[in-house]
Amino acid sequence: MNAFSKEAVGPSYNLASMQYAQAMTWQAIERLSQRIVPGMLESQARELGKQVLAELDMQRIWHPLLVRFGANTLKTFKERSEGDPQLGENDIYFIDMGAVWQGHEGDAGATFTTGNDPQQVACAAAAKTLFDRVEAFWRSEKVTGLALYEYAEAQARDMGWVLNLNIKGHRVSDFPHAIYRGGDLGDFEQAPGAGLWILEIQIAHPTLPYGAFYEDLLV
């Protein structure tokens, strides 16, 4: 499949609607993060997330809502959580939401901490910092998707973290993007266009059993 096909969109695609869906997804993540508290089970947080999305009048969920606590922050999107952990007083978790507004796919994710464990706080911050570095590299250098993740891996290593290269970004568009089969951003052999790709960053602590996640739209 050529680059044009991998960046195809439907007849209703509109960049402003993509950005609106993204903004609403971030609003949902922030609202949910304010309601997640120590003592809550991971399954309870997921149900709460569905309530938040309904409150914000999303049209539908296009990918399963993920909330990962503790060691489950090392799991990839396709892996099931281990058990149903309870969030601790000093803990780490991430939220990954994919929902449709105005017929367009929002997708975002971020990591949060409870308490003040310095290594957990640093891990959560590092995922966002790494995302920002890779996004800036994309914007300034106009490199291929493949080069973006090579850069991300090197930056993560220099920062003292381990990048999970089983998570390499993906397409979004007017719903459903899946019909275009764009593949992973990290395998895309052209410079990715704005408003079409989600850059995903998932890192692991080099020695402790947790990690962090951050994703957003390249625009």
Where are the chain's structural domains?
A: 3-217
The H or E element containing residue 8 is none
pLDDT exceeds 60 at position 160: yes
What percent of the chain has pLDDT above 70? 99
Q: What would the pLDDT profile of 87-102 be if each residue is shown by its tens digit?
A: 999 999 999 999 999 9
Q: Can you tell me the distance from the alpha carbon of 196 to that of 207, in angstroms, rounded to the nearest whole number?
A: 35
In this predicted model, what pLDDT tens digit does every residue of 27-75 receive, in sequence order?
999 999 999 999 999 999 999 999 999 999 999 999 999 999 999 999 9
CA distances from 60 to 105, 162, 175 (A): 9, 34, 10
Which tokens sit at 146?
Answer: 């493949």
Contact 168, 215 (CB under 8 A): no
| CATH level 2 (architecture), domain 3-217 | Alpha-Beta Complex (3.90)
pLDDT (tens digit, 9 = 90+) per residue, 2-21? 567 899 999 999 999 999 99
Res 106 pLDDT > 90 = yes
Residue 173 clears pLDDT 90, i.e. is over it: yes
Structure confidence at residue 2 (pLDDT): 59
CA pair distance 63, 18, nearest whole angstrom: 16
pLDDT at 182: 81
**Per-residue confidence at 181, pLDDT binned at 50, 70, 90?**
confident
This prediction's pTM: 0.96
pLDDT at site 37? 98
Closest among 108, 110, 86 to 99, alpha carbons compared: 108
Alpha carbons 115 and 39: distance in angstroms, whole number: 13
Q: Residues 180, 8: contact at Cβ < 8 Å? A: yes
**Residues 155 and 147 sit within 8 Å (Cβ to Cβ):** no
Is residue 116 very low, low, confident or very high in pLDDT (cuts 50, 70, 90)? very high
Here the tokens at position 37 are: 């508290």
